Amino acid sequence: MLGHGGNVYEASRELGIPVDHITDFSASINPLGTPMSVVKALQLRLGQLRHYPDISSAQLAEEISKSVGVGRDMIICGNGSTELIYLVARALLPKRVLITAPSFSEYENAVNISCGLTRRRKLRVSHFSLHEKNDFRLDVDAFIEAMKGCDMAFICNPNNPTGCAVRRADVLRIAREAEINGCCLVVDEAFIDFIPKESVIKKVPEHPSLIVIRSMTKFYALSGLRLGYAAVNPQLLEIINRHKEPWTVNSLAQAAGVAALQDREYGNMTFKLLAKEKAFLENGFRRLGMRCIPSQANFYLIKTDAPYNISLKLRKNGILVRDCSNFIGLDSSYMRVAVRTRSENSKLLKELASL
């Protein structure tokens, strides 16, 4: 089943089994699950659901500002990072866009829809190919050259679905060149919490055309609530805010975000667990003779030589992985696998061995 990962409800209906009986490796969510600090914050907020949410998400934006080290006037909150991707495209209406491939499909969907809405814009989308022979790493110099003439470019860091990260210094070099060429650089840091040293969000005040978008659903396991934010230069943010719908961040999501950002212990526990489980999975894939792309995120892009689609075989057994055949530059021999708990990871490796 193609599309995005994490559609456990559709799989439940298709397979005729309860959601709780599905093992989901298709969505790259923190295996620790939602922090207990967030659960408690949600319980306290339930009595206030009769009120509209804070339209400006003021408390959450203030907490984000302190957490990432940029001014409150540069923060915008959204209903997941995907809403902000679409909002940026709709507000800035790019004419020529550069997108790496393979990468998150919603960048191209967002700019295509924004162009279609105006009906007066001619849009040209160029794909900058990433290649397996060098582990899908970004050739920074070639990307800068390809960016010339564009008015918007997207970089996903770490990249989805490859897990490869671009060094912070290289992203900033791209940002400087983008500025010189009049190009808005959108850096999607949805998975940057798993490798925080490579984030460029603190540098947004120094780069007027740099937009950094982040998700809180991956690291803090808040997918069902939908929560994201972006750091944007105030002048650019003023334009973007004119196109934003009101009340897109509900009260529970706002409370969850504040509690999550204040929970330092959860982050420490996450890094310890991931270090162990990533090593366990890498060794398992190696023993099975499967090509595992080096990843700095909480998931892996796997290539198999099987003459059939492994993701469909696993699905029939209640195990979901991300079939990557609808990513530009990939096919059904590739699948993306999230890092889960030891029992879940063992189950996956056992099923793969049997196939």
pLDDT tens figures, 124-162: 999 999 999 999 999 999 999 999 999 999 999 999 999
Tens of pLDDT, residue by residue over 47-88, are 999 999 999 999 999 999 999 999 999 999 999 999 999 999
Q: Among the residues of 189-341, which ranges form H helices?
A: 234-241, 251-262, 264-287, 310-316
CATH of 37-262, one of 3.30.2310.20, 3.20.20.370, 3.40.50.10800, 3.40.640.10: 3.40.640.10
**Extents of the domains making up the chain:** 8-35+265-354, 37-262
- Quick one: pLDDT band at residue 306, thresholds 50, 70, 90? confident
pLDDT digits (tens, 9 = 90+) for 191-241: 999 999 999 999 999 999 999 999 999 999 999 999 999 999 999 999 999
pLDDT band of 2, cuts 50, 70, 90: very low
In angstroms, how far apart are the furthest CA atoms of the chain? 57
Return d(Cα 21, Cα 167) in angstroms, integer.
39
For the chain, percent of residues with pLDDT exceeding 90: 92
Q: What is the pLDDT of residue 1?
A: 39
Is the pLDDT at 119 greater than 60? The verdict is no
CA nearest neighbour of 278 among 194, 219, 205: 194
Candidates 3.40.50.970, 3.90.1150.10, 3.10.450.350, 1.10.1510.10; CATH matching 8-35+265-354: 3.90.1150.10
Least confident of 40-44, 112-116, 344-348: 112-116
d(CA 303, CA 350) in angstroms, rounded, equals 17
Q: What is the pLDDT of residues 181-196, one digit of tens each?
A: 999 999 999 999 999 9
Q: Which two tokens stand for residue 83?
A: 């809403």
Give the whole-number percent of the chain exceeding pLDDT 70: 98
Distance CA 143, CA 200 (A): 18
Residue 118 confidence (pLDDT) above 70: no
pLDDT of residue 6: 79
CA atoms within 13 A on the CB side of 259: 21
Residue 79's alpha-carbon distances to 134, 257, 293, in angstroms, are 35, 12, 31
Phi, psi of 31 (to 5 degrees): -65, -15
Q: Enter the tokens of residue 107.
A: 């960048």
Would you state the structure tokens that stand for residue 157, as one six-digit string? 């860091």
CB 63 within 8 A of CB 258: yes
3-state helix, strand, coil in the chain (%, to 5): 45, 15, 40
Sort 63 into a burial class: Cβ within 10 Å, 0-12 / 13-18 / 19+.
Answer: buried
Two domains, one topology: 8-35+265-354 and 37-262: no
pLDDT exceeds cutoff 80 at 167: yes
